[in-house]
């Protein structure tokens, strides 16, 4: 099967023009099919502030009310997505930017839509959990040698746009395409990888398998915020994804070659 890279870049890269350009230059040069999933960065929060739209946060999560949904749709699917696509075109990499509504490529449902209070008693507002990825459609683009750039906005079956976690989009897209491609899923962020000591960038754990993950958790040697990412990584591997890598966005080439970052293996 052909190789496909599904790469998630976090907000800190999006907020840093130099880092983003450098990342996109590396991305443009990569061989094989490629899908880039981007998060939101600080631009939406900044715009909301300028417009006087108050941002409600519960447990560190943004509550997406109707006004906030309009803002994140503009910023994620408009501003950030089109800037990335235009930059990739400048680097001679044909790309297409999509929200989940485009080609119905990522269909979700409103979180907690069966309960007025949502998950855990919290109503997150217009937030979507992914149900289905239209892999045939994405393949039709990849077959034309077009890189797909996914904004973290999806759509439900009633045509409601929903704010959606970019990590989840990356994971679900990687899983859905694993029957058509040899998929490698890369979570790129600001750190060198999964660290034994969160303050020491040289303490990267090169490989994590289920038994070492269990041990690391038991010994509380792993940063708590990293656990859901690793849980998702193992879930992706169990659904047919070939390799999951977590590491630094600026070292994309090394992440792919395996000389940097943390590899999650079964």
Q: Which spans of this chain sit near a second copy (rule: CB under 8 A)?
A: 50-51, 70, 73-79, 81-83, 85-91, 94-99, 101-104, 137, 140-141, 144, 146, 153, 155, 158-161
Burial level of 38, CB count in 10 A (0-12/13-18/19+)? buried
Question: How many CB atoms sit inside 10 A of residue 207's CB?
Answer: 11
Contact 142, 149 (CB under 8 A): no
Q: Give the start-end residues of each E strand in the chain.
A: 3-9, 33-38, 57-58, 61-62, 95-98, 106-110, 128-133, 147-150, 153-155, 161-163, 182-189, 207-208, 243-248, 262-264
Residue 80 CB, shortest distance to a second copy, in Å, is: 9
Q: Which is nearer to a second copy, 19 or 70 (CB)?
A: 70
Q: Which is nearer to a second copy, 4 or 106 (CB)?
A: 106
Residue 155 CB, shortest distance to a second copy, in Å, is: 5
Contact 246, 261 (CB under 8 A): yes
Quick check: helix, strand or coil at residue 4? strand
Residue 141 CB, shortest distance to a second copy, in Å, is: 8
Q: Which is nearer to a second copy, 104 or 113 (CB)?
A: 104
Question: How many CB atoms sit inside 10 A of residue 59's CB?
Answer: 6
Residue 20 CB, shortest distance to a second copy, in Å, is: 13
What separation, in Å, do the N-terminal and C-terminal C-alpha atoms of the chain show? 20
Q: Which is nearer to a second copy, 83 or 167 (CB)?
A: 83
Q: Which is nearer to a second copy, 98 or 186 (CB)?
A: 98
Q: Which is nearer to a second copy, 33 or 97 (CB)?
A: 97
Residue 115 CB, shortest distance to a second copy, in Å, is: 23
Residue 254 CB, shortest distance to a second copy, in Å, is: 26
Structural tokens at position 58: 């519960």
Residue 104 CB, shortest distance to a second copy, in Å, is: 6
Distance separating alpha carbons of residues 154 and 160, to the nearest angstrom: 8
The pairing of strands 262-264 and 243-248 is antiparallel
Q: Which is nearer to a second copy, 3 or 70 (CB)?
A: 70
């Amino acid at each position: 099967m052909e190789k496909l890279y599904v790469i998630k870049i976090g907000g800190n890269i999006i907020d840093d023009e130099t880092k983003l350009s450098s990342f996109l230059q590396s991305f443009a040069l990569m061989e094989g099919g490629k899908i880039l999933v981007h998060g939101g960065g600080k631009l939406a929060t900044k715009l909301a502030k300028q417009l006087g739209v108050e941002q409600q946060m519960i447990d560190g999560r943004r509550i997406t009310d109707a006004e906030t949904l309009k803002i994140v749709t503009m910023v994620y699917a408009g501003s950030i997505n089109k800037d990335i696509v235009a930059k990739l075109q400048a680097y001679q990499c044909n790309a297409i930017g999509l929200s989940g509504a485009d080609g119905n490529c990522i269909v979700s449902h409103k979180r907690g839509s069966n309960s007025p209070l949502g998950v855990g008693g919290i109503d997150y507002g217009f937030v979507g959990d992914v149900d289905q990825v239209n892999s045939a459609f994405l393949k039709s683009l990849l077959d034309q040698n077009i890189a797909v750039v996914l904004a973290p906005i999806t759509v439900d079956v009633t045509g409601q746009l929903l704010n959606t976690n970019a990590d989840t989009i990356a994971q679900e897209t990687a899983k859905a395409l694993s029957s058509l491609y040899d998929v490698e899923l890369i979570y790129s962020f600001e750190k060198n990888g999964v660290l034994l000591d969160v303050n020491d960038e040289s303490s990267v754990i090169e490989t994590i398998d289920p038994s070492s993950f269990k041990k690391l958790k038991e010994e509380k040697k792993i940063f708590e915020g990293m656990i859901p990412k690793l849980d998702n990584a193992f879930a992706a591997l169990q659904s047919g994804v070939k390799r999951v890598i977590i590491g630094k966005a600026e070292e994309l080439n090394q992440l792919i070659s395996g000389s940097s970052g943390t590899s999650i293996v079964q």
